[in-house]
Structure 1
Amino acid sequence: MWEMAVGNTFGATSLSSYGGFWISYAIILTPGGFHIQEILSTDSDSAQLYNSLDLYLMSTVAFFLLFFFLLFFFLDIAFLLLAIGNLVRPRGTPDTRIKKAGGLFALLAAFTAWYNALAGIADTSNSFFIIPVVHFPWSATGREKRLKTERETA
């Protein structure tokens, strides 16, 4: 929520949404808490649970596609693979190979998030090295760099 305090509406919206997703996903998967898993699955058939999780994860993919940065791209691929892993049930259980691939993309998303955080924190006042960052041409920094001559940017 400190992103909102510093005026970064995108950061506040995306990070709050992402945090809200993980809280709600944990509520769904916590045994004994809200009994969601027990209600949606029976001993003989778990298809309703997997189909509900698929719908939930696919809606998350659609929501985060709106943000479409590298971090959220990796998150989208991770959620998409997790949903597909639940859809593909060769022996009645979700395909663990596809879900492991989703976990790999989640790790890539985590690495990208840490890189973005370090790039946002490290500047000339507090670090000996500056993390390279690519700015969109329509952003304020991108417009400023376009207006500078080649000699000024060297």
Structure 2
Amino acid sequence: MHSKPLANPGPLGLMGFGMTTILLNLHNAGFFPLTAVIVSMGIFYGGLIQILAGMMEFKKGNTFGTTAFTSYGAFWLSLVGILMLPRMGLADASSESFLGAYLGVWGIFTLFMFFGTLKGNRGIQVVFGSLTILFALLCYGNMTGNTAVLHFAGFEGIFCGASAIYLAMAEVLNEQYGRTVLPVGEPKKQAAHVDAVVA
């Protein structure tokens, strides 16, 4: 009896990450205030759904996907906590410099994850590369109080989120149509292997 193959949870996790990242960075770029829209997305789509995607990757035996999605899902939940717990009177507000340190730690984690993408397609490299830069900018901006850097980080974050959405939709559409609808820059060896299989 053959078991039915598991669905690819990657697009779900990438969409949760990408959409939430864009919305937060629209705020960072100065377009919108921080409202329940961002907080709700951080809890549900960016947080819980990414963790769910990570658990689905665990089921498939994908260490990288499990680590990435569960970690960034927890990042969004913890960020919501940092923002909301002081307003609820449950914790003291963090200083800007300590928030910068928090973002810096996530930047270091993301840099190592970026190294893990170097054998993958260009799309995933762009996502993790731009996310590493985003964390570096946010870390520096918060630790120094440089609002211009934080403003610029917002635009960089919009690009990062958009790259994740593109990759997610590429995985969905390419699978649905059985061909490359949206290119993601597959590694040459993998592309050659695919051509050989098709031939």
TM over 0.5: yes
- After TM superposition, the structure 1 = structure 2 runs for residues 66-145 of structure 1, keeping only pairs within 5 Å, are 66-68=112-114, 69-88=125-144, 94-123=145-174, 125-126=176-177, 130-137=181-188, 141-142=190-191, 144-145=193-194
Contiguous gaps of at least 5 residues in structure 1 = 41-48, 89-93
RMSD (Å), alpha carbons:
2.8
Contiguous gaps of at least 5 residues in structure 2 = 1-54, 115-124
Which range is displaced more, 26-35 or 118-127?
118-127
- Cα pair distance change 1:102/1:50, threshold 3 Å: same
Shift of 1:6: 3.7
- Cα pair distance change 1:27/1:127, threshold 3 Å: same
State, as a whole percentage, how many aligned pairs show the same letter.
30
Instruction: Report SS of the residue matched to 1:67.
Output: helix
Superposed CA offset, 1:76-118 (max 9, x none): 1111111111122xxxxx2221111111111111111111111
Asked which structure has the greater CA Rg, the reply is 1
Instruction: Report SS of the residue matched to 2:88.
Output: coil
Q: Return the letter of the residue paired with 1:36.
A: D
CA distance in 1, matches of 2:149, 2:63: 34
Q: How many residues align?
A: 133
- Alignment-derived partner of residue 16 in structure 1: 70
1:78/1:104 contact within 8 Å kept:
no
Shift of 1:11: 1.9
- Alignment-derived partner of residue 44 in structure 1: none
Q: With the length of structure 2 as denominator, give the TM-score of the two structures.
A: 0.57
Q: With the length of structure 1 as denominator, give the TM-score of the two structures.
A: 0.72
Shift of 1:5: 3.1
1:28/1:36 contact within 8 Å kept:
no
2:107/2:135 contact within 8 Å kept:
yes
